[in-house]
Structure 1
Amino acid sequence: MLQIETWKRVLIWGLVALGLLLALPNGFYGRVEAYNDKVAAQAGDSTGVEGWPGFLPSGLVNLGLDLRGGAHLLAEVKVEEVYQTRMEGLWPEVRNLLRDHRGEVGTIRLQPSDDGTLAVRIGDPAGLDRAVKLVRGLARPVTSLTGAGASDIVVSGEGDLLTVQLSEAERVATDDRTVRQSLEIIRRRIDEVGTREPTIQRQGADRILIQVPGIGSADELKAIIGTTAQLNFQPVVTSTSDPDSRVPAGQEVLPSADQEGLYYVLEQAAVVSGEELVDAQPSFDQNGNAAVSFRFNPSGARKFGDYTAQNIGNPFAIVLDNEVISAPVIQAHISGGSGIITGNFTVEESTNLAVLLRAGALPAGLDFLEERTIGPELGADSIQAGKIACIVAGIAVLVFMGASYGLFGLFANIALILNVGLIFGLLSLIGATLTLPGIAGIVLTIGMAVDANVLVFERIREELKTAKGPARAIELGYDRALSAIIDANITTFIVAVILFVLGSGPVRGFAVTLGLGIITSVFTAIYITRLLVVMWFERARPKTLEV
C-alpha cells in the first residue's frame, strides 16, 4: 500500500529541518562572520559575545578567492640552494676528519665553490685516495623509497683536489623534502596570522600555489611568506667597512641590519641554526624596546651553552636572512638554551619576526612566478552573477515542472527549493569553500535535481495506463524508477569523486558542490517528494490522477 511509517516521516522532516538550520547563518553572512571573529578572539569562548544567538549554529560557507577577493601567488622553490647549504654544513665534519689524519693527507684548504660542490685541496697528492676513502665513510643511505640502497654523497678526487657532492638519488629526495617542508612552513605562517580558508597546494615538482581570500594584496601575502627567515648564530671573525673584503673560503661578509656601512666577517659554519628553535615570542628588552625571545631544543641548547662557555669575551652574530641583526659580546655562559634578540624593531616587526621564526625557516628561497590581487569589488560582482544564474536556472526549472506535471510538478518544486537549502547546510557543516566553479556546480545541480522526479512521474504515467488505480500507480512508479535513479546518479557521483581527487583549486570546488548536490537531490526526490505525494493522497483520496 501507499504509506510511509510515522518514524520515517519524523526522520525525513527532522533531517530537512536540521539542514535548513545549518544553512540559516549564510542568510546573515556579515553578522555571523563578525560574531565568529569575536568568539575566535576569545579563544572559542562565546560568553558575552553579541550579534548572533549562541544556541544557533554559526558555521558558514567560506567564500573562495574569486568571491571574496584576496591574493594569488605561484611560487617556485629554489631547490638548488639546499645543495650548497648541505655542503657548507658538511665541511666541519670533513675538516675535522681530515685533520685527524693530517700525517696521511697533509694540510687541507677549502676551495671556493657555489655550485653545490664541496672542494677541498690537500697538501699531499699521494694521500688523495686515503682522503677520498675517509670522506666516503661519512656517507649515509638515502632516506627515500626511490633511492633505496644509494648513498647520499658522491666523493671523488683528481690530482690534489677532493670534491664532494650530493648523489642524484639524494638530490631527488632532497628536492621532494624541500618542497614538502616549504609547503608546510608556508601553511603554518599563513595560519599564524589568522587568515580564512587559504588554498596552499603543490603544483608540479617544485612549485606551490598560494591563494588567500580576504587579504589586502599580493605584496602583503609575500611579506608573510616571502622571507626565508633563516636564523643562524655564527662566530664573528672581525668587522669592516668594506663590503668587498677578500676573505678565505669558509668565511663570508654580511652587512649589519642596524648600522649602515658596517659589515661583519663571519665563519660560514653556524654554531646553532634556526632549525633548532622550538619557540619564539615577541617581548621587550630591559630598556623597554621591542625584542624577540627564543628557546632552543635540547640539542641546540647544549651547543649554544658549550659555545658561550668557551668564548666568553668574544662577539657572536645573530644572522637573519644574510643580515647581522645583532652582534653581542658573550659576557657569561648562557645555559638553558634561551635568549633574546634585540634590534631596531617596532612592536609589529618583532611580532612578525616571532611568527616567522616560530613557523620555521623556509629551507630555500622562493621565486614568485605569478602574483595577482583580486579586489573585493570583483568578488562581489562574481557573487551577484552567481545569484542571478541560480535564480534564472531555478525559475526556469520551476516553470517547466509546473507546466509539465501540474500538482506533481509543484511537489517537485518544493523539493528543489529544499534541495538548495540542504546543499548550503552540508557546505556549512563541513566548512567547505565556495568558489565561482562551485556556484556553477550548484546551478548544474538545480537543473539535474528534477531528473529523478521526471523519471518517477513518467513511470507513474505508464503505470496509470494499466488501470491499477492511483495508489498502486504511485507506489509502482517510485519503486520501478528507483534503480534508474540510483544508476544515473552513481555514475555522476563517481565523476565528482574523480574530479575532487585529481583536480585542484576551482576544479575541487566544482566537484564538492556537484557531489553534495547529487546526494541531496537523490534524498529529496526519493523521500521528500514521495512524502509530499503520500500526504496529499491521504487527504485528497483522488479517484484519478493528472500527472
Structure 2
Amino acid sequence: MARFSFRGFVYVLIVMLSLLSAAPNILPQSIKQQLPTWYTTSTLSLGLDLQGGSHLLLAADTNALFEKQLNSFSSDLLSELRSQNVRYTKTSHSLTHKDSRSGSVVFTLRSADDARKVKDTAYQISAQPNGSSALDVEIKQSTVTLTLNELYTEQLVKDTLSRSVEVVRKRLNETGLTEPSVTLQGKDAILVQMPGMSDPTQVKKLLGTTAQMTFHWAANSQSEQVMNKQDAAGNTYRLEQKVALEGEHITDAAGVLSSENGQPVVTFRLDSAGAKQFATMTRDNIGRVLAIVLDDKVVTAPVINSVIPGGRGEITGNFTLPEAGNTALMLRTGALPVPLTIIEERTVGPDLGSDAIQTGVESGVAGALLVLAFMVAIYGRWGAIASFALCINMALVFGALTLFGATLTLPGIAGLILTMGMAVDANILINERIREESKKGRPAASAIEVGFDKAFATIVDSNFTTLIAVSLLFMFGSGPIKGFAITIALGLVSSVFTAVALTKMLMLRVVKSKHKNTQDRAQQRVPLRFSSPLLRLSDKLSGINFLAKRKIALAVSVVLTCFQSACLLSLAYIMASTLPVAP
C-alpha cells in the first residue's frame, strides 16, 4: 500500500509540474503581472503560419569560400617554395565551378626532383588537427595540381555555416526584432523566420552584405602581389594583396556624426591584439596610404601621418547616417564568413495567421469533444476516466513543449490532434481487455490488473513503431516537419504514461473506494459491467467472420489503389502540359 501511495504521489507531481509549465500560455494578463517574469515569459512561440511574418531562405556561396581557402593555401605554399629555392612556372588557376567542390591551382616545376619537397611543404602548410591535409597534391611528371581535400571542404562548409548562423542571429538581434528564428536548412542554406515583420527589405539588405573588412597598404616598389580596387566614386587604388589587418579584430563600432565636419562616419575600436598590431604597422609606415576595404570596395584611403595608438579609428566616406549605422552594426556583429544569397522569400499576413489559429483551435476542440463523447458513450464511467486521462495527456504535451521553448505551427496543431486520436487507441485497447476479463468472471480489481498487463505489450509495441517513423521525419525533415515530428513524439510518450500508469491508478482507486463502502465479500467479487447500445451492437457483430471475405476486400483495395494512382498521374500530366515553358 505504501508503494502504491508513493507511486501515486510521483504521478500527481508529474501532472502538477506539467500543468504549471503549460499555465503561462493561458493565464490572463492581470494574473501574469502578479507573477515572476521568468515564469510568465516561458510560453509557446507561434510560428509564421500562425502569427504572420517573413520567411527568408539564404543559400551560402560555397564557391567563393573554396576559392578563398585555395588562394590562401596556394599563396603560402608558393611563397615557401620560393624561400627554399624551388623553381616553378605558374600555368593556371581555375576558379570554382558550380558542378565541382573547388577549383585548382596548376604550376610546373623546373626540376622533377623537387616533387617530394612540394608534397612535404604542402602538408606542413595545410596540416589539420586530425593529421590530415587540407590540400590534395597531384604531380604528373613536373606538373603540380593543387585542390582542396573533399573531407576538408565538407568540414569547412559545416563550420562556416555554423558561424554564419551566429552572425545572422547577432545582426537580427541588433535590429531589435522580436524572437527571430535562425536555423540551418540542409547542407548549405540558412532559414530565417521573422514573426511579425511584413516588409523584410531592410533585413534583406542587412543579410545580403558580407561586411568583410580588411586593411591594405598602397602598393609600392617593394610590393610582391598587388591588386586594383575601386571606391564608390570609381577611383582606382593599387593595393597590396596581402592583408595588413583583419576586420575580425574590431570589437565595437558606431555610426556617428563627425565632430570636425558634421558628416556621418563610422568609429571603431580594436581588441588588444589588433590595437598593438595597428600601432606597430602605422609606426613603421608613416607617410603611406592605408586603404580600408569593405566588401571589395575601398571605403576610405587616408595617409598615415603619425602613429595611431589605442586601437581606435574612424572610417569616413559618403555615408548617410542610416548607412553609417548599418555599417557599424555589421562590423560589431562580425563579417559573414561566406556570402549569402536569398533564394526564397515568403510573407504571411497577420490576418492569415489568425485565421489559421482559429481554424486549428476549432478543429482541435471539435475533435476532442467528439473523442471524449465517444469514450463516455461506449464505456460509461470508465470511458470518463479515460477521457480525463486524455485531457491530462494534452496538458503534459503542452507543458513539455513550453518547457523546451518550442514554436507552435499549424503542423504542430495537426500533430496535437493526431496525438489525441492515437492516445484513444490505447484507452480503447485497455478497456476491451478489461471487458474480456470481466466476461470471464474476474473480480473488478483483478480484471483491471490483468487487462492492463495484457494490453501493455501491445501499447508499447505500437507506440514504439510509430516513434521509429517519427524519428525518420525528424532526421530527414526540416522546419514544420520537424515540429510535427516532435509534437507526435512527445504525445506518444505522454500517452503511454497517462494510459498505462495514470488511468490504471484512477480505475483501481475507484474500485477500491467502492469496495470500502461494502463489507459483503461476494459483492466485492462482482465483475465490472460494461453496457451500452454500441457495445451490444459490437457483440452481435463479433459473430461475423470478416476474414472469410479477405480476398474480396484485398481485390477491392488493389482496384481502388490503381484507380487513385491513375488519377494522380493524369492530374500530373495535365498540370505539366498546361504550365508555360520558360525560354
State the TM-score, normalizing by the size of structure 1.
Answer: 0.79
1:155–1:73 distance in 2 versus 1, CA, 3 Å = farther
Q: TM-score, normalised by structure 2?
A: 0.74
Cα distance in 2 for partners of 1:149, 1:96 equals: 18
Corresponding residue for residue 446 of structure 2: 472
**Is the counterpart of residue 277 in structure 1 residue 249 in structure 2?**
yes
1:425 Cα shift?
0.7
Corresponding residue for 1:224? 206
C-alpha contact 1:132 1:155 (8 A) present in aligned 2:
yes
* Alpha-carbon contact 2:397-2:494 (below 8 Å) kept: yes
Against the structure 1 CA distance between its residues 87 and 156, is the aligned structure 2 distance closer, same or farther, given a 3 Å change threshold?
farther
Superposed, which structure 2 residues align to 1:171-186 within 5 Å? 173-174=152-153, 176-186=155-165
| CA distance, structure 2, for counterparts of residue 236 and residue 156 of structure 1 | 39
Question: In 1, Cα distance between the equivalents of 2:153 and 2:3?
Answer: 62
Match of 2:60 among 77, 90, 97: 77
Secondary structure class of the residue paired with 1:254:
strand
Amino acid of the structure 2 residue aligned with 1:374: V
CA distance in 2, matches of 1:365, 1:13: 53
- The whole-number CA distance in structure 2 between the counterparts of 1:215 and 1:90 is 43
Q: Distance in 2 between matches of 1:175 and 1:511?
A: 28
Deviates more, 1:390-399 or 1:368-377: 368-377
Shift of residue 423, structure 1, vs aligned partner: 0.8
Q: Deviations over 1:6-25 (max 9, x none)?
A: 33333322222221111111
What is the CA-CA distance between 1:111 and the residue it aligns to? Answer: 8.9
Q: Name the counterpart of 1:361.
A: 335
1:534 aligns with 2:508: yes
Question: Alpha carbons of 1:523 and 1:366: their partners in 2 closer, same or farther (altered >3 Å)?
Answer: same
18-27 or 324-333, which deviates more: 324-333
1:20–1:373 distance in 2 versus 1, CA, 3 Å: same
Secondary structure, aligned partner of 1:60: coil
* Cα separation, partners in 2 of 1:392 and 1:164, compared to 1, 3 Å: farther
| Structure 2 counterpart SS, 1:167 | strand
Which runs of structure 2 are paired with 1:24-173 in the superposition (5 Å)? 24-28=23-27, 50=33, 53-54=36-37, 56-86=39-69, 88-89=71-72, 93=76, 138-140=121-123, 148=132, 151-152=135-136, 166-169=146-149, 173=152
Give the corresponding residue for 1:380.
354
1:405 and 1:270 mapped to 2: Cα distance?
78
**Aligned pair in 2 of structure 1 residues 335, 105: CA closer, same or farther (>3 Å)?**
farther
**Structure 2 CA distance for aligned equivalents of residues 157 and 349 of structure 1:** 54
Deviations 1:373-416 (A, max 9, x none): 22222222222222122112111211210111011111111111
Contact 1:9 1:531 in 2 (8 A): yes
Q: Aligned partners of 1:31 and 1:505: how far apart in 2?
A: 34
CA spacing shift, 1:471–1:320, aligned 2, 3 Å = same
Matched, 1:187 2:186: no
DSSP 3-state at the match of 2:298: strand
Aligned to 1:416: 390
Q: C-alpha distance in 2, partners of 1:187/1:214? A: 21
1:510 maps to: 484
Distance 1:149 1:90 in 2: 11
- 1:182–1:358 CA distance, 2 compared to 1 (3 A): farther
Call closer, same or farther: CA 1:364–1:184 in 2, change over 3 Å.
closer
Deviation at 1:272, TM superposition (A): 1.6
1:295 paired residue number: 270
Residue 227 of structure 1: CA displacement? 1.2
Say if 1:207 and 1:172 are closer, same or farther in 2 by CA, change over 3 A.
farther
Q: Which deviates more from structure 2 when the two are superposed, residues 505-514 or residues 144-153? A: 144-153
Pairing partner for 1:329 from 296, 303, 328: 303
Percentage of pairs with the same residue: 36
**Which residue among 189, 199, 211 is the counterpart of 2:193?**
211
Q: Match of 2:238?
A: 265
Query: Is this contact kept in 2: 1:183–1:202, CA < 8 A?
Result: no
How far, CA to CA, are the matches of 1:471 and 1:478 in structure 2? 11
2:167–2:335 Cα contact (<8 Å) kept:
no
Distance in structure 2 (CA, Å) of the matches to 1:130 and 1:439: 70
Are 1:397 and 2:371 an aligned pair? yes
1:452 is aligned, of 426, 435, 440, to 426
Give the Cα–Cα distance (whole angstroms) in 1 for the partners of residues 63 and 275 of structure 2. 30
- State the match for 1:253 in structure 2: 229
1:434, 1:333 → 2: CA distance? 56
Task: Give the Cα separation in 2 of the matches to 1:228 and 1:464.
Answer: 72
Greater Cα shift, 17-26 or 473-482: 473-482
For residues 168 and 261 of structure 1, do their structure 2 counterparts lie closer, same or farther at Cα, with a shift above 3 Å needed? closer
Cα distance change of structure 1 residues 14 and 166 upon mapping to structure 2, 3 Å threshold: same
> Structure 1: 5+ residue runs without aligned partners?
36-49, 239-247
2:28 pairs with 1:8: no
Q: CA deviation at 1:97?
A: 5.3
Amino acid at match of 1:250: V
Rounded to whole Å, the distance in 1 between the matches of 2:267 and 2:210 is: 17
Q: Does the residue aligned with 1:439 lie in a helix, a strand or coil?
A: helix
| Pairs aligned (count) | 504
The Cα shift of 1:521 comes to 1.1
Secondary structure of 1:193's match? helix
Instruction: Name the SS for the 1:450 alignment partner.
Output: helix
SS in 1 for 2:26: helix
Q: Deviations over 1:99-139 (max 9, x none)?
A: 7688x869x9999986656688xxxx995769988766652
